[in-house]
Amino acid sequence: MEKNDFLIPLNGLASGKTVYRWTSGKKFFDEFENQDILDADLRIEVEVEKSGSQIDVDCHIAGRLTVTCDRCLGDLMIPLDSVERLRVKFGDANGGEESFDEDGRETVLLSVGDTELDMKQVIYDYACLSIPLHKVHADGECDPEVTAHLGTREDVPGEFVGEENPFAALKDMLKS
């Protein structure tokens, strides 16, 4: 990535809409030291609308992320199509504070002296938030060599098949 990637200049931004387009891959996530994302191919389109002192940012992130499947440990491709809406406001020297407006836009408060809006962290955060908590292939798509060593789908966690429940004695202790 070049030094100016993912930066939106705020000084001199013309009124009306301006569109920025970027791409990102694995190197982008490596810069954040993210080891969970094995590969990435993202297209980012950011539409910035300036109206007076208010700046609205609509960020569309589309593409795919490759992560490790929680079940078979194979590569799992996750499609990504996310639209995030931000509102940039200028405030005290602390800056960086966030809240939500009544219209559902996340409000980012920047210090008055800020001249650029760096979208790297925003893009990274929303891409990572789009990854499901339970990352598994669809039924039948996991590596059969690995799944052969896993229990069957009928094996329910917490139930003991073929042996007595070793925690049954604890249950009786609670009754006394």
pLDDT in tens, the chain (176 residues): 444 589 999 888 888 999 999 999 999 999 999 999 999 999 999 999 998 878 999 999 999 999 999 999 999 999 999 999 999 888 764 545 556 666 778 888 888 888 899 999 999 999 999 999 999 999 889 998 888 887 654 544 555 555 566 676 677 676 66
Quote the CA–CA distance of 143 and 136 in Å, as a whole number. 11
Q: Are 48 and 56 in contact (CB under 8 A)?
A: yes
Handedness of CA 125, 127, 128, 132 (dihedral sign): positive
Q: 116: closest CA among 7, 2, 1?
A: 7
- pTM, 2 dp: 0.75
Residue 27 and residue 42 in contact, taking contact as beta carbons nearer than 8 Å: no
State both tokens at 86. Answer: 């931000």
